[in-house]
Amino acid sequence: MDVVFDLIGGDYIDRSLKSLKPGGILISIPSATNAAVEEKAKKVRCIGIRFSLKNKKEDMQAIANLLESGKIKPFISKQFTLDEIREAHKELEKGHAKGKIVITME
């Protein structure tokens, strides 16, 4: 492969690097689990990129407006209360959520 977009992070970085040819590029998106992507990629003669965004008030408002108008609708995989935060974290660790995990105050 020339380029791989890693949407999961963690151990998937190592798996993804195995599929790249020398000089290939791995772009890792989940910021919480991709701290070592540059270093790992360099060891196998590839390029590792940590993808991250900075929140802007204007962008967040535009997204809120789209949600409010119904033009976009999030897919919620599971919903947990704040008291169930441990279970929610375990669900995220499985790495198989097909939507967002939501924590509510109730």
**pLDDT tens, 52-74?**
778 899 999 999 999 999 999 98
Give me the number of domains the chain comprises. 2
Distance, CA of 45 to chain centre = 24
Partnered with residue 79 across adjacent β-strands are 102
Q: Do the domain assignments include residue 13?
A: yes
Same domain, 10 and 43: yes
0.85 surpassed by pTM: no
Domain extent, residue 34, equals 3-50
Q: Are strands 25-28 and 3-6 parallel, antiparallel or unpaired?
A: parallel
pLDDT for residue 32 is more than 70: no
The reported pLDDT for the residue numbered 4 is 94
pLDDT for 28 beyond 80? yes
Does any domain span residue 88? yes
pLDDT of residue 100: 87
Query: Above pLDDT 70, what percent of the chain?
Result: 97
Q: Same domain, yes or no, for 45 and 80?
A: no
